[in-house]
Amino acid sequence: MRSESVVQIRRLVKRYGSKTAVDGLDLEVHQGSVTAVLGPNGAGKTTTVETCEGYRRPDAGTVRVLGLDPVADAAKLRPRIGVMLQSGGVYSGARADEMLRHMAKLHAHPLDVDALIERLGLGRCGRTTYRRLSGGQQQRLALAMAVVGRPELVFLDEPTAGLDPHARRSTWELVRELRADGVSTVLTTHFMDEAEELADHVAIIDAGKVVAEGSPEQLCRGGAENTLRFMGRPGLDVGSLLKALPDGTEAVELTTGAYRITGQVDPQLLATVTSWCAQHGVMPEGISVERHTLEDVFLELTGKELRS
């Protein structure tokens, strides 16, 4: 049975003047899952997330978060969700630990502040004012502020942008712990590895619409083609090999004796290639199958790199 949905977006439209930032977007987020919203710059990710947080009012369509209207029911919703903004929302003269403790006090069942500070490597920043923290520290503090109230649902807008690898890993661990605690997470990211590592569900958005969604596994299987490579005698009759393979498959000798086959690479195709090799007295060496990554799927769907 599918878990309850915590975010429901139906045909959302959001315009800024004549610019349509979100253009009929549908998205559903299930309880306890991590949903990654991926898209090129300007795709409408931040606008979508800000609409869920109640910071923007839809021009058309509906948004429900924990069953509530994020604008009309903001007072009821705010204590139940955690929000990590890309920037701002923080008084820059306040000390990091003060802000976190203050935030914790606003909630009935906050996380242990000291443990959270330790967890995110903010131990030495406690007495430092926000404006004096490094970009990475500000980022981690914003994450801590978003989760300290033990929310049911958190929105993280590019949570690891600009973080060093160690800080990225601790952020990922925290997101995994939140999921283990039953917290639902919606995150936007430009990092494919982040989506592949963390997300149960990925929505790829482009020009204000969801263009593909599914688990990372489903997207990689369904979208892009896969590649099979092997080494053999130079100058094999690639045309004859192609005749044995299904329509739509491509085969080339990339460099001398190095062959690459692209298409729906499944066990049947592998069997056909090896049996063709056997018939032609070829010992295929170094056979490898490459599964395409979310990055390939993304490029294929949007024609764009994730970061421009």
Q: How far is the CB of 121 from ligand ATP (least distance, A)?
A: 25
Calculate ∠ Cα 204-220-287, nearest 5°: 150
The residue (of 19 and 109) whose beta carbon lies closer to ligand ATP is 19
Contacts by residues 100-107 (CB-CB < 8 Å, ≥ 24 positions apart): 100/141, 100/144, 100/145, 100/148, 103/145, 103/148, 103/149, 104/148, 104/149, 106/79, 106/149, 107/79, 107/148, 107/149, 107/150
| Residue 14 beta carbon to ligand ATP: minimum distance, rounded to whole angstroms | 8
How does 60-78 read in b/e, with b if 16+ C-beta sit within 10 Å? ebebbbbebebeeeeeebb
Q: Which is nearer to ligand ATP, 24 or 42 (CB)?
A: 42
Please name the amino acid found at residue 183: V
Q: How far is the CB of 44 from ligand ATP (least distance, A)?
A: 4
For the bound state, the minimum distance from the C-beta of residue 295 to ligand ATP, rounded and expressed in Å, comes to 16
CB of 21 to ligand ATP, least distance (A): 3
If the CB atoms of residues 122 and 212 are measured against ligand ATP, the closer one turns out to be 212
The residue among 1, 26, 2 whose CA lies nearest residue 13 is 26
Mapping DSSP to helix (H, G, I), strand (E, B) and coil, where does residue 265 land?
coil
Is the Cβ–Cβ distance between 37 and 298 less than 8 Å? no
Closer to ligand ATP by Cβ: residue 204 or 228 = 204
Name the residue nearer to ligand ATP (CB basis): 185 or 226.
Answer: 185
Residues 180, 162: Cα–Cα separation, whole Å: 26
- Between 158 and 296, whose beta carbon lies closer to ligand ATP? 158
Report the interface residues with ligand ATP, using CB under 6 A. Answer: 16, 19, 21, 39, 41-47
Minimal distance in Å, beta carbon 64 to ligand ATP? 20
